[in-house]
Structure 1
Amino acid sequence: MSSAIDSQFSNVSPSGDFINKSNGIVFTISAPGKVILHGEHSVVYGKLALAASLGLRTSGTLRELENTDDASVIEVHFPDINLHYSFDFKEIQNLLDKPLPVNPDISHFNLEHPERLDHDLHLKNVEGFLSGTEGYHNLSKLKKNSLVSFLYLFTAMFTSLNVSIRPFHFSVSSHLSIGAGTGSSASFVVCLVASFLHYVKLLSKRGNVGGNLSKYGYGPTLLTFESYTARLTEDLLKITSDWSFYGERIHHGNPSGIDNTICTYGSLLVFKKGCPPERKTMDYPLKLLLINTKVSRDTKTLVGKVADFVQRFPEVGNGLLCTMDEVSKNALDCIECLNKADSSCEETAGAFEKLEELSDINHSLLRILGVSHPTLEEIVTILRGHGLRGKLTGAGGGGYATCLVPPSCSQGDLDAVLTDLSNAGFDVKMTSLGDAGVRVDS
């Protein structure tokens, strides 16, 4: 079902085109992961949550293949989950010739309106196609979801377009741990969607397709593509986030929309249930220790645990949730203060000190709600021994702990805490907060 690809490719040409030696397209796009800074669990109850992008990214590379009998495939390679899968190119073309299930009819659908696709029916069609391919039934749930995401998004986005694709190899790798609450699935689907959009741009340029990109019968797609840039236009970012939300549904059923939004736009996101997410800047460079407990957790069980606490002790539980809301608001004020302040002034030091205290407070509140874990408490204790503050992130019950690194922290002090955490059996990554959103890297 799979084949080896050994072609060598060049970089971007002087004209800004993405080409290989055979005049095929090749490019790489990356998207950041995310971390919840404040608002875990309380966001479910309508309280404010803060999410920030990470310096850890997922990268996807699309490389067109020479049009030979040996390369008449669309091949996907996801090395992080050991998945290497090939589709017959003619079978994919046949899929793209079939009309999409849309509401109310195809004349109302185009690339810019994913909400008009009948997603459940399209997903069923994709899964039906895959179930007839060799080896699919032997794959793990994670591999199946990844493969479904790829084919679901590719066919949903390209079926309505009047562009000529070629056989290609598409690989995705990530610095994010899978299933640990750092947005690995959202970063993955954002990478897929942005890669497909960029491919549309390059195909339309190569085919001199101007104006309407849609096939006859579909609603017009009138996208304006700028010349090569490391960032997508605002219109393309919105389309990326919108399509990625539906890609996230394959992995999480009913996602909040936080992860696909932050992985698309980067920086800082303020989120409150029932309200549109609000994008904020993070101009002050914040560094973060991301500490892996290596303990898996069940988000659904942990959310239920909080719900049970609130039901049994309504006044106490609601009081804790309201306090967590105030923590999020205060943390946002501190970040906005850091954005405006001179890095050498006392105001900066004061704002950062408050951020550390708020992390401490938030972790204590989450512990009272019952979503901490002995490994998380051990991490917080080790950090406190070095004068640092830590907190759980995400659902808790394992997963990751985070620690903001003070600007005053010396390399010697940092090395000492990293050594202690490592000796205790924890994996630690040093990363940045507020990293750029999805972008074209090469």
Structure 2
Amino acid sequence: MAMEIRSRAPGKIILCGEHAVVHGSTAVAASINLHTNIIFFPGTAGSGNELIELELQDSGILLTWKTDSMKNALSETNFHDPFSPKPCSKETMELIHGLFEYQKLPEAKSSLASGVYAFIYLYASILGFSGALEPQNQHNIWLRFGDKDLELVNKWAFEGERIIHGKPSGIDNTVSTFGNVIMFKSGELTQIEPKLRLRMLITNTKVERNTKALVAGVAERTNRHPQAMASVFAAVDSISREFSEILQSSSPDQLSIAELMGMNQGLLQGMGVSHSSIDDVLRITSKKNLVSKLTGAGGGGCVLTLLPASTPVEIITEVTSELEHVGFQCFTTEVGGRGLEIFLPN
């Protein structure tokens, strides 16, 4: 039986500061107790017809490449320096696109393409084409990586983010790698030790969005209205800083947190990144006096709704039912928690 290696990394939410963080403002982000799970089955080198298979179970997609074909296509790009993360060049991206083209991904799944490109680049760069992997010190528990290992993982994850999003802030990969709550500005992060464990309702509107296009749209609006947008970004920066201070205070005030979330949502609407589906979530949750804001790129995607500790279970049930009735998907989650982990069975 092939050895099975499992790893998992938490999802992340941006509590405040998205989009503005790309323009130098502060953002606050956190991991959540929902995970992306990876199962890796190393093969045995030497048969001459090894395959690399990528199965995206939630999407019903199975992609396959012959190891030799991938090696022949990418051999001249000098991959496999796993300790020196570097951006994917334009020339390498063209080669990767050639490897991907014949897979015939269904049109409905075309949004997955950039993620697959990132997989190919990271696989070739980190593992190369050496076949079997022989991990050491196997333990039948979930293991935490050391700080240096996490830093290396985070750098590679950022290169994947470059492929998917173009000009990423670095928040997504950092939070999923390290976990917990962070304050992030201009590439520098500060770990936050919250005195309050926030609870959120996350609503997936199921509306596909193009992060690159949304980021570009904010940049274009900034070019058209530089002074006005500078004021918007400054306001977001103030919100994020105050949000962070409240989380770390000895007596955190959830009413103030809710007010700041509402202010941030208004500014995001001013940036032009909201969407009618997001407005629907705001309308439904506000009827029960709950405050919501988009999280991430906007243009659809997911929406956060703060669930104060005093929120009755009946209210959460009613709101969730109404949101699901219009076709949205809902999750209740706690904010913060552990980052990347790996499970090595005996």
Counterpart position of 1:418: 320
CA distance in 2, matches of 1:304, 1:66: 45
CA distance in 1, matches of 2:44, 2:16: 49
Counterpart position of 1:330: 242
Instruction: Note the alpha carbon deviations across 1:36-67, whole angstroms, 9 max, x for none.
Output: 11112322321111121222211111124588
Instruction: Note the alpha carbon deviations across 1:65-118, whole angstroms, 9 max, x for none.
Output: 58897995332211223321333355567789x57527xxxxxx8421123x77
Matched, 1:101 2:78: yes
Counterpart position of 2:35: 57
Counterpart position of 2:259: 357
Counterpart position of 1:44: 22
SS where residue 414 of structure 1 aligns?
helix
CA displacement at 1:376 relative to structure 2 = 2.3
| Superposition RMSD in Å | 3.3
CA displacement at 1:439 relative to structure 2 = 0.8
CA distance in 1, matches of 2:96, 2:220: 38
Matched, 1:165 2:131: yes
SS where residue 256 of structure 1 aligns?
coil
Instruction: Note the alpha carbon deviations across 1:110-144, whole angstroms, 9 max, x for none.
Output: 421123x774444444444555xxx4256654454
Counterpart position of 1:246: 159
CA displacement at 1:241 relative to structure 2 = 0.9
Does the 8 A contact of 1:267 with 1:282 survive in 2? no
Match of 2:172 among 241, 259, 269: 259
Match of 2:145 among 227, 232, 240: 232
- 1:166-245 matches, within 5 Å, as 166=132, 199=133, 203=134, 205=136, 229-245=142-158
Distance 1:145 1:392, change over 3 A: closer
SS where residue 8 of structure 2 aligns?
strand
CA displacement at 1:359 relative to structure 2 = 0.7
Name the one with the larger strand percent.
Answer: 2
Does the 8 A contact of 1:100 with 1:159 survive in 2? no
CA distance in 2, matches of 1:372, 1:126: 33
Does the 8 A contact of 2:192 with 2:244 survive in 1? no
Q: Give, as a single letter, the amino acid of the residue that structure 1 aligns with 2:128.
A: T
Distance 1:251 1:305, change over 3 A: closer
Matched, 1:290 2:202: yes
TM-score norm. by structure 1 comes to 0.67
Matched, 1:278 2:195: no
Instruction: Note the alpha carbon deviations across 1:1-21, whole angstroms, 9 max, x for none.
Output: xxxxxxxxxxxxxxxxxxxxx
Counterpart position of 1:171: none
Matched, 1:383 2:285: yes
Matched, 1:145 2:47: no
CA distance in 1, matches of 2:50, 2:218: 52
Counterpart position of 1:405: 307
Does the 8 A contact of 1:390 with 1:402 survive in 2? yes
CA distance in 2, matches of 1:159, 1:419: 48
CA displacement at 1:331 relative to structure 2 = 0.4
Q: Give, as a single letter, the amino acid of the residue that structure 1 aligns with 2:131.
A: I
Does the 8 A contact of 1:289 with 1:430 survive in 2? yes
CA distance in 2, matches of 1:312, 1:148: 33
Q: Give, as a single letter, the amino acid of the residue that structure 1 aligns with 2:28.
A: L
Distance 1:91 1:300, change over 3 A: closer
Instruction: Note the alpha carbon deviations across 1:271-296, whole angstroms, 9 max, x for none.
Output: 223x4233334463221111123333
SS where residue 159 of structure 1 aligns?
coil
Counterpart position of 1:268: 181
TM-score norm. by structure 2 comes to 0.84
CA distance in 2, matches of 1:120, 1:151: 14
SS where residue 230 of structure 1 aligns?
strand
Counterpart position of 1:211: none
Does the 8 A contact of 2:199 with 2:335 survive in 1? yes
CA distance in 2, matches of 1:90, 1:243: 24
Aligned length: 341
CA distance in 1, matches of 2:59, 2:316: 32
Instruction: Note the alpha carbon deviations across 1:315-353, whole angstroms, 9 max, x for none.
Output: 44333322221111110011112xxx4xxxxx24xx222
CA distance in 1, matches of 2:160, 2:179: 18
Counterpart position of 2:59: 81
Distance 1:130 1:417, change over 3 A: closer
Distance 1:364 1:137, change over 3 A: closer
Match of 2:13 among 35, 40, 62: 35
Computing the radius of gyration from Cα coordinates, the structure with the larger value is 1
CA distance in 2, matches of 1:291, 1:41: 20
Does the 8 A contact of 1:334 with 1:355 survive in 2? yes
Segments of 5+ residues of structure 2 without an aligned counterpart are none
By relative contact order (CA 8 Å, sep 6+), the higher-ranking structure is 2
Does the 8 A contact of 1:324 with 1:365 survive in 2? yes
CA distance in 2, matches of 1:152, 1:310: 33
Does the 8 A contact of 1:32 with 1:58 survive in 2? yes
CA distance in 1, matches of 2:322, 2:77: 55
